[in-house]
Structure 1
């Protein structure tokens, strides 16, 4: 009859219940007599339940009044003759208040529970929606990861064909004993860098296979001790050239069931990493041991070591210790990641720790035997191909200003490039027309710029110790270096970087690879502009000097930058000195100004 959602109707019903109970009890009073509160206790209970706390209290008061008037003797009067009836009224009022407050608390608790339940439902809906979005993002990430893997795989395969077509003809040309020395040297540069690119392509292709789960294991019986010695032998000439003590400790033989090609790559990458970071005069040691059913390969070097906070991330893909534009060592950051993946495919572990005397220790642990059920293949023959790209870098071509063969009056160009092949390429390209000097990092370039005072500077962007950008900033902040023409070389086609370099005073910016003709043309243009500016300045100074000589006034001209002071003839007459007698020293003014 009444809507429970309507607050007013609920209160009205709660207040009507005492009157309804009074009418019913009056009608059947002879049956209920002498129990005056018989119907009123349930009434106030329901009233407080339906109408709430205040409606319950009011209903209790109404019920007490009705009982006193109609049912407590004398009837139809509010007077009470028996004192015990007062106690019954007080108990009734107390119970009514108790019912009202109890129902109010229950109502509030019910509302809080309903609110919490609704909030929980909304939170669950939001969580479901978030999970759905995370699932979609995860699926999208998987798809992008698959596309990236496919791209790496495709581009690696596509690069192998032109690299093969480069390495094949170059190898045939180098096999010709009648090849001129200059041509042989250029072709060796081509071969060395093509092999380096070939190795990086192989790393990308292997990583693509690993990410796609397509890298299969090819187990065979192998003498791991002989394999370690074979791989290490390819580094002996490199160790000798760099005066590095290279120690190899293995048993005579150690039969294992491994994937030989992957073990070669593991050793190759670990040793290449050790030689890359070990300075001249350092030490590298390779140790092979058997431990129960496992074998341990340890590669120790005396390089700078690996910081403790980097030891967990060094095996991640594309991770490098010295990232940034001033890193000392190149690479893709895939070598150690491939080591970890290949070791895990064998069911082994790889870890890095600090060597007691400094440097790093890489420890690879492999099972001696293939897993149960693994297919065994014929042992592979030891080949040369995986190690061709380890051909030691020929650094004998490093040259400085003493190697110039052109006229001593030719403009001097300083080439600052950390890659020896690129440095030699640029110096040989420009060395037929200009005097050329070389530097191999930003700090050396900065020092040689001051000592040689070149007419033009060519610098790479990314170099160890000091980047090209930082070198340019420091040069421009120093007196006399604000007019030096600078050409910056970079492998990054970055408009923001180009704009920043031009703001720092770089005249030209070339992106690698660049054409010979373009570099020569830009060098010639900048040097011609520098000569023209110098000639105009010289003519301007000459005109000023003639004007000073012609004047009848005592004038002098002081170049604050150079400290050179010129005086007119009238000046010497005024001070009473001849030009050959000298003049007051202006060094004090030069230093203070």
Structure 2
């Protein structure tokens, strides 16, 4: 069967056009003057050459054919890109076309033709000049003999594929892996960077040379810390900018690439933690003279720079964290030392206080009235509590210094534990809790330090009483193998899982946990863990919020450290004092008022039972006193009957003093009730915080009784609308009930004349045309709790200016609406404050409210225009928004008072 191979072309075994299906290469061959070459005109070609050429041209795989001893080449379109700018080279000697790479190609080609065995060369490095420079390339090549009509070798068939990208990509990936491995050590910054820089030598084909410059904190520019592949002495020690490093390649005289060509280019990359961040340093890297600086090459450099930047960031972050940890450790040591020194200093005056007081109480001949005896007992009880805190701090100081060593003696741990639990029974009963003890004999002697074991048990019991309000506390002791285990389980408030890992840390408190009191040093559980560890034991806790907690202490039975003839362990006075203190704390606040039934009522709020009792004793001769243990109970008492004054502590469980104050100010029925805050936080900042929150007065503990009584009297007389007359220490008759409601107590306002700063002057009344003006300006936190403060201060200013109650009410309504909008609508404020200015002048009043954020419009469902309607109904209102804040101006003419 014959196949038609083209018009006018003879068919047959040796006929037909060999270039017909060859594409671009076939057209070039068809037009080529083959008669001028050693292979002669096409008509004279042997059939073997025709078939070989046709096979090359129709292949989609890169193929080249050489024929004759002159190595005349034929190739297809797929092969043309491999010789780049040298194409077309059809009909030329392949040894000339690939002259720069023939040293590598020639021997396998000649061997294949001589032995008639095909070669296979994977990843062969070839030097090509196909793009105008000496290029590093890699090919997988196979050479096979081409036979003539007579069966002899007449040429060579070559099949090849370029693997340059694969070879170079794998090489770069190995380098990046090595860099990551070296950088993961996180040692000294300069040593780590130098080690990473040295690792770059493993890929000198891509990085002929490199240098790393780092910025030092507080110093300008960058300092060289490492270099590789070049003489570091030829590099600058420092560089202000990257531009100083780009022009130094020529003087380094570095060769690179697989063929040893001179390196003429380099790149400088910033080492940054983020794309837009300040550079931590610079990476100077030479480029290969045999590779194009294309996108892949640049990406590789960026990855290398990213490795250096990431390591520097991690090392510096690690150093900061380590420095912080060392600082915290040093602070902890300093705190422990301070507590130890202070505790030693406190023990002497405590001894001199408690000794005489106990002597007075124990003296049967001392003529003490019941009231005096109760006060002395109160002082002794709280002095003992202070001494227990001092002893705990000394224990911690001893443990920290390594001086605390348990002296283990044979102890009846079961009986001792039962006795320690027993001293808390009246405490539990008074708090309404069930206390069960299950401590059977252990069956073998246990060896512990009795005083340390006492602290472990007492601290766990005190903790259970503090956080348990209903239910009970269960104490159990069991022997398990070579250990004995104490469990103290309660049905208290429980602990969230996130807090459990920090529970035994010193000074750690569980945020927001409800407790009988917020008092304490925060070292009780930490001391339990330390004392347990000194005995070679462990302490663990399991807890479920709302269901309770179980503490488990496991100790070995141990061996004795002292003689066996020691007295039986018994609860110490310190342990009994701790239980007695919690018994007083567990007392429920009195619900009925103490004092004259017709006197104004004072609500005392404090989580310390002794403090409640003390304040009640001070106040009840003059006022009807009720008490509450925290802000939640106080709000319930206020709802039952509105007091004339609230005297509250600041730090309390559940609802603290500030939360109580905010709740009172937010309720129209109680917003005018004067509030005096008591706190252990002394100092001007604490006082300002309380007054800014809306308190009428602020008194730091400890205080004198006469000062407290005077402040209560003044606050109540102001609230009742009476003039505050001087009073001696004994002149403390309760104020008369108010006959008519008056504005809330005045707070910091002032009146100015134009041009005279803040010089106080009398405030003008409505209709005064003297030109004087009443003016006040306040800067308040951008919080809703500031609204009551604005209301009270404006009410006082408007009342002083003689503005009638009706118009004053309208203006207060508009001003508070504007202030609420300023707090709720302002977004991204420059300052988190709201400024309120009030001016009464020339028969008009103007109130300005300004925030410092951008205006954020509400969707219609959030605000249907009620606020603007209310404000516009009582005054002329304008709002001017801007990127720096929005100013709302409320202006109204003064109306005559009714």
TM range (shorter): 0.5 to 0.7
**Residue aligning to 1:255:** 445
Is 2:599 aligned against 1:403? no
State the Cα distance separating 1:403 from its structure 2 match.
3.0
Is 2:89 aligned against 1:92? no
**Residue aligning to 1:166:** 353
Q: Distance in 1 between matches of 2:91 and 2:719?
A: 123
**Residue aligning to 1:152:** 339
CA-based RMSD of the aligned residues comes to: 4.0
Aligned to 1:214, which of 385, 403, 414? 403
Change (3 A) 1:485 1:133: closer
**Residue aligning to 2:284:** none
**Residue aligning to 1:414:** 603
Q: Distance in 2 between matches of 1:300 and 1:429?
A: 39
Is 2:292 aligned against 1:101? no
**Residue aligning to 2:574:** 386
**Residue aligning to 1:512:** 701
Q: Secondary structure at the match of 1:521?
A: helix
Contact 1:355 1:361 in 2 (8 A): no
Cα deviation per residue 1:518-543 (whole Å; 9 max; x = unaligned)? Answer: 11111222233334458795899xxx
State the Cα distance separating 1:154 from its structure 2 match.
0.5
Contact 2:603 2:625 in 1 (8 A): yes
Change (3 A) 1:436 1:229: closer
**Residue aligning to 2:664:** 475
State the Cα distance separating 1:182 from its structure 2 match.
0.8
5+ residue gaps in structure 2?
1-89, 104-125, 129-133, 139-163, 173-202, 214-224, 227-280, 282-307, 723-736, 744-804, 810-873, 875-898
Change (3 A) 1:163 1:558: same
Q: Distance in 1 between matches of 2:543 and 2:484?
A: 21
Q: Distance in 1 between matches of 2:412 and 2:502?
A: 32
Change (3 A) 1:245 1:481: closer
Cα deviation per residue 1:287-342 (whole Å; 9 max; x = unaligned)? Answer: 22111111111222222333333222211112223458998553222111111111
Contact 1:222 1:379 in 2 (8 A): no
Contact 1:441 1:466 in 2 (8 A): yes
Contact 1:316 1:337 in 2 (8 A): yes
**Residue aligning to 1:430:** 619
**Residue aligning to 1:487:** 676
Q: Secondary structure at the match of 1:154?
A: helix
Is 2:553 aligned against 1:345? no
Change (3 A) 1:220 1:140: same
When the two structures are superposed, what TM-score results if normalisation uses the length of structure 2?
Answer: 0.46
Change (3 A) 1:504 1:115: same
Q: Which structure dedicates a bigger proportion of its chain to helix?
A: 1
Q: Distance in 2 between matches of 1:126 and 1:398?
A: 57
Is 2:463 aligned against 1:273? yes
Contact 2:594 2:620 in 1 (8 A): no
State the Cα distance separating 1:365 from its structure 2 match.
1.0
Q: Which structure dedicates a bigger proportion of its chain to strand?
A: 2
Change (3 A) 1:218 1:194: same
Q: Distance in 2 between matches of 1:195 and 1:367?
A: 32
Q: Distance in 1 between matches of 2:600 and 2:717?
A: 10
Q: Distance in 1 between matches of 2:411 and 2:641?
A: 58
**Residue aligning to 2:646:** 457
**Residue aligning to 1:523:** 712
**Residue aligning to 1:225:** 414
**Residue aligning to 1:36:** none
Q: Distance in 1 between matches of 2:808 and 2:325?
A: 67
Change (3 A) 1:380 1:132: farther
Cα deviation per residue 1:76-104 (whole Å; 9 max; x = unaligned)? Answer: xxxxxxx9994543352543872632399
Q: Distance in 2 between matches of 1:146 and 1:165?
A: 29
Contact 1:300 1:355 in 2 (8 A): no
5+ residue gaps in structure 1?
1-82, 541-556, 562-592
Q: Secondary structure at the match of 2:127?
A: helix
Contact 1:167 1:191 in 2 (8 A): yes
> Bigger shift: 516-525 or 391-400?
391-400
State the Cα distance separating 1:202 from its structure 2 match.
1.6
Q: Distance in 2 between matches of 1:141 and 1:558?
A: 59
Change (3 A) 1:526 1:403: closer
Change (3 A) 1:377 1:501: same
Q: Distance in 2 between matches of 1:410 and 1:151?
A: 48
> Bigger shift: 332-341 or 444-453?
444-453
Q: Distance in 1 between matches of 2:534 and 2:806?
A: 77
Q: Distance in 2 between matches of 1:242 and 1:194?
A: 23
Q: Distance in 1 between matches of 2:93 and 2:430?
A: 117
Contact 2:431 2:586 in 1 (8 A): no
**Residue aligning to 2:382:** 193
Is 2:336 aligned against 1:336? no
Change (3 A) 1:150 1:92: same
Aligned to 1:370, which of 555, 559, 571? 559
State the Cα distance separating 1:508 from its structure 2 match.
0.7
State the Cα distance separating 1:203 from its structure 2 match.
1.6
Contact 1:347 1:366 in 2 (8 A): yes
Aligned to 2:636, which of 447, 453, 463? 447
**Residue aligning to 2:433:** 244
Q: Distance in 2 between matches of 1:198 and 1:166?
A: 11
Q: Distance in 1 between matches of 2:316 and 2:327?
A: 16
State the Cα distance separating 1:450 from its structure 2 match.
4.2
Cα deviation per residue 1:477-516 (whole Å; 9 max; x = unaligned)? Answer: 2224333222111111254443343234321110111111
Cα deviation per residue 1:419-446 (whole Å; 9 max; x = unaligned)? Answer: 2211221121121122222233223323
Q: Distance in 1 between matches of 2:541 and 2:477?
A: 16
Aligned to 1:285, which of 474, 477, 499? 474
State the Cα distance separating 1:131 from its structure 2 match.
7.7
Q: Distance in 2 between matches of 1:248 and 1:321?
A: 27
**Residue aligning to 1:302:** 491
When the two structures are superposed, what TM-score results if normalisation uses the length of structure 1?
Answer: 0.67
Change (3 A) 1:480 1:236: closer
Change (3 A) 1:219 1:90: same
> Bigger shift: 108-117 or 437-446?
108-117
Q: Distance in 2 between matches of 1:495 and 1:461?
A: 15
Q: Distance in 2 between matches of 1:337 and 1:394?
A: 22
Contact 2:517 2:653 in 1 (8 A): yes
Cα deviation per residue 1:142-191 (whole Å; 9 max; x = unaligned)? Answer: 54433222111101111222222222122122213453211121122112
> Bigger shift: 183-192 or 489-498?
489-498
Contact 1:326 1:467 in 2 (8 A): no
Q: Distance in 2 between matches of 1:385 and 1:193?
A: 14
Q: Could you say which structure has the greater relative contact order, defined with CA pairs below 8 angstroms and 6 or more residues apart?
A: 1
Contact 1:456 1:484 in 2 (8 A): yes
